[in-house]
Amino acid sequence: MLIDEELTREIIGAAIEVHKTLGPGLLESAYEHCLCYELNQRGLKCVRQRELPVRYKEVLLDVGYRIDILVEDRVILELKAEKIITDMDRAQLLTYMKLSGKKIGLVINFHVPVLREGLCRMVL
């Protein structure tokens, strides 16, 4: 069984609903706001633009990293509005997962004809 399979299924369902309603072509920030609304409507707690400090030795450094959306304090969502999900997008999500200690993350790219083509689930 996948880790947090039910939660990620619900998140993906919410993202599909946003994509079906809005379609591709908007800015990432529009999808972020709408996805948070949809997640809240489904009873899920989410935090937008959560600060993510970098731990270097014994200090925490605020260097400007932010998690697009953190759902239920367990799943990191990295939203995109690009032609494709790149290796750099995957690496960014993995870095955020390592820095935050979260085990599950999704890259969700809304700039695709069918949202399932724009999903990437990652587990540490």
> Residues 72-84: pLDDT tens digits?
999 999 999 999 9
- Please name the residues in contact with 13: beta carbons below 8 A apart, sequence gap of 6 or more: 42
Q: Which pLDDT tens digit goes with each residue over 26-57?
A: 999 999 999 999 999 999 999 999 999 998 88
Strands across the sheet with 104-109, in order?
Answer: 46-51, 66-71, 75-80, 104-109, 119-123
| pTM for the full predicted model | 0.92
CATH 3.30.300 fits 5-123, yes or no: no
pLDDT at 87 over 60: yes
**Average pLDDT score over the chain:** 94
Within the chain, where are the H helices? 5-22, 28-41, 87-100
Look up residue 61 and give its amino acid: L
State the distance between the two ends of the chain, measured CA to CA, in whole angstroms. 15
